[in-house]
Amino acid sequence: MATQPGTRHVEHEITVAAPADTVYELIAEVRNWPRIFPPTIYVDHLHKSGNQERIRIWATANGTAKNWTSRRVLDPEALRIEFRQEVSAPPVAAMGGTWIIEPRPGAGSRIRLLHDYRAVDDDPEGLAWIDRAVDTNSRHELEALKRNVEAAHGARDLTFSFEDSVRVGGSGRDVFAFLNEAQLWAERLPHVAKVRLEEDGEGLQSLEMDTVARDGSTHTTKSFRVTFPYHAIAYKQVTLPALLSLHTGLWTISEDGAGGVLATSRHTVVIDPERIEGVLGAGAGAADAKAYVQGALSANSRATLTHAKDYAEKQS
């Protein structure tokens, strides 16, 4: 395919102490992306057929959240993944590229990330913005991928997921409204002291809030949220509590088959092992940190779900 005038071609690479097929599998499974790539907020599978798929990606670029739809062609034998944005977000006019995984001696691998892109109307300022975003994100993605692969075994016991649910005898739309209207949480939820919410009108939210812990201390966190009326809200924290190196979550609302709905809060977290004793005291270990984190997050989730239940049932 001929390259259009104004198209920029760039390449980034990194060497990883892990087998090439392991690296390929990690990149090929998009559900892992919010955990392994810092800019990625959420990825939704739109369609999959054979070795081709369509995905929608929400990610930050130069501190701003964007979303786009991409097509991918997976080639596990050649260890290549081609991608092309189907719907780009300005200032990007077109974006595509290829992941290439090359085996190296000693069970290592070389990861090459190629990009080609154009700016809307070939605008120089827009192209400069894309240059910065691609360079920053590519470096972060490759560094995160390297850390994730090389530390996969050691981090296995520090990564876990859990969920809490409540049954609601009311409308799922009302439950969704309560969870979606986070700007009102300081009035509606006792553990929330302050909220700052920004929305882009297309289901993407930036949520910063101060929450009060059980010991009375206040913690500020920031998340990007992707809303799917009226059944789900996915989010990723980008400002984290001291014990965590990752926190992603998903609120879901589904019919329970008995005239009500099941509202669920699911968390996936990674404990930062270097901060365990600093937060929980000398001698504390991974099990203590996991219990503490799950207790704190579940308490907040159950409180939010209970208030959402009360709100929805009062509307019925």
Which domains are seen in the chain, by residue range?
Answer: 8-150 (3.30.530.20), 157-315 (3.30.530.20)
Q: What is the DSSP letter of 31?
A: G
Q: What is the DSSP letter of 216?
A: S
Query: Which of 2-16, 138-152, 271-285 has the largest mean confidence?
Result: 271-285
Model confidence over 247-301: pLDDT tens digits?
Answer: 999 999 999 888 899 999 999 998 999 999 999 999 999 999 999 999 999 999 9
Q: What is the pLDDT of residue 173?
A: 96
Are 98 and 80 in contact, with CB atoms under 8 Å apart?
Answer: yes
pTM, entire model = 0.84
Q: What is the pLDDT of residue 106?
A: 86
The pLDDT-based confidence of 164 (bands split at 50, 70, 90) is very high
Pick 312 or 67 by higher pLDDT: 312
Runs of H (alpha helix) within 103-169: 124-150, 152-155
What are the beta bridge partners of residue 116? 9, 96
Mean pLDDT of 113-117: 97
Q: How far apart are CA 60 and CA 84, in angstroms?
A: 18
The CA angle 254-249-188, to the nearest 5 degrees, is: 75
Q: How far apart are CA 225 and CA 207, in angstroms?
A: 7
Long-range contacts of residues 43-52, Cβ cutoff 8 Å, at least 24 apart: 51/75, 51/76
Q: How far apart are CA 71 and CA 96, in angstroms?
A: 9
Q: Are strands 218-228 and 204-212 parallel, antiparallel or unpaired?
A: antiparallel
Mean pLDDT of 23-28: 89
Q: What is the pLDDT of residue 155?
A: 66
The pLDDT-based confidence of 198 (bands split at 50, 70, 90) is very high
Model confidence over 52-79: pLDDT tens digits?
Answer: 999 999 998 777 788 889 999 999 999 9
The pLDDT-based confidence of 46 (bands split at 50, 70, 90) is very high
What residues contact 82, with CB distance under 8 A and at least 6 apart?
72, 73, 75, 96, 97, 98
Q: How far apart are CA 44 and CA 27, in angstroms?
A: 15
